[in-house]
Amino acid sequence: MTAYWVRFTGWGISGAQQDEQASGTAMTTENTKAFDGNLSPEFFEAVAGYLGERHPRYGRLLDIQLIDGGKSNWTYRVFTEHGQLVLRRPPGVHTLETAHDVGREFLFFDSFQNTDVPVPRTVDYVGEDSPIGVPFFVTEFVDGVVATREGEGFIKEAETARRLCNALVRTVAAIHNFDWEDSPLKRFGRPESFTARQLRRLPRQWDGSGGTGAAFQELTEALRAVELPKTPQTAVHGDFSVHNLLLDREDPARILAVLDWELATVGDPLADLGWFVALWVDPTDGPERLALVGPDRKVTTSEGFFTRERLVEAYAAATGRDLSLFGFYYVFGLYKAAVIWQGVYSRYLEGGTSATGIDGMNERIPQAVELGLRCTRSPNFPRWPL
């Protein structure tokens, strides 16, 4: 029977955790079936054959670690004789429309090479001729830390927190300032309003995922009633957040890479910022706000982290964009979160995704909708601050 060592790790886990997990778990043909075959000996051999044929400079394949096999695209850390790589592929489960498109994700990684947007160095994309049966792409491995996996108090110095917040703003501004029209990303540009398209698509996704309730419909109508001026399109990440960043272990205010571009497109930059700010927690937030986003986000509640209002002010200063109607985009971020969480929870109930991060999600969905509705009833809506 073929057996090999597979370790389960995560982007940027602590050194102590890495040492503990380096003891490994011997995985055989029988017990890899729990992962739908994605860590089977056949998978290992297919990756080894691919590297030997397409990228012989890396030498022999030594090991593969599953980094993330949950609700996102499945990600593997690949050890070779001459370096480490990351392989990213879609999960083998039913997904929402446009989700888990690794070709799209690779295109964004590749377009941002040698720009002010920090991304891993791309190696290859394999589509229809994939030896593992699904498309995948490969990048170089970036050895960093994910702040939300380190927990509350990871960033202890207020000055480090302030520097990280400024780096966050610079990075999202760099994404939005990228010249997408002179790049392969131009294929994603569409003349129609980004938010108008989203306000048609998201209700369909909500219904398709079993979402119910008059409150969601009321929030949909409140958002549709807002007349927005036309906003120039930019590249948008779609899920920009501190949990999708790799930070330098020695200087966590330094961003090494922006990850998880599954929802990236060309669209409204203020909608991208709205998502980021809607799910941000800061030192002034109480238990209700923390319950909405989950315990892992508490890392940004330490002294020195910006409030939501200060993040918006810093972005306006960095880009010169008019954010007077940002109240709409903030609520839209909450609305989008409710739809995405509903989809994730629905797939979990159907057995199509892992239980990681599911705790409390069914409660957070109506909380996001209700908070959005309260904001729309503010006399200042859709202006900012609410």
Over the stretch 244-258, which tens digit does the pLDDT of each residue have? Answer: 999 999 999 999 999
What are the extents of the domains in the chain?
Answer: 3-140, 148-376
* Average pLDDT, integer, range 29-38: 36
pTM of structure? 0.86
Kindly state the percentage of the chain with pLDDT values over 70.
85
- Superfamily classification of domain 3-140: Phosphorylase Kinase; domain 1 (3.30.200.20)
Within the chain, where are the H helices?
Answer: 15-21, 41-54, 102-111, 147-150, 158-177, 194-208, 214-224, 269-278, 287-293, 308-319, 326-349, 361-376
The model's pLDDT over 347-374, given as tens digits with 9 standing for 90+, comes to: 889 886 667 778 889 999 999 999 999 9
The model's pLDDT over 131-177, given as tens digits with 9 standing for 90+, comes to: 999 999 999 999 999 998 887 678 989 999 999 999 999 999 999 99
Ranges 126-130, 203-207, 261-265, 291-295: which has the least confidence: 291-295
Kindly state the percentage of the chain with pLDDT values over 90.
73
Q: Parallel, antiparallel, or unpaired for β 234-236 and 265-267?
A: antiparallel
Side chain identity at residue 121, one-letter code = R
**357 with 293: CB under 8 angstroms?**
no
- Superfamily classification of domain 148-376: Aminoglycoside phosphotransferase (APH), C-terminal lobe (3.90.1200.10)
Question: Can you give the pLDDT at residue 4?
Answer: 30
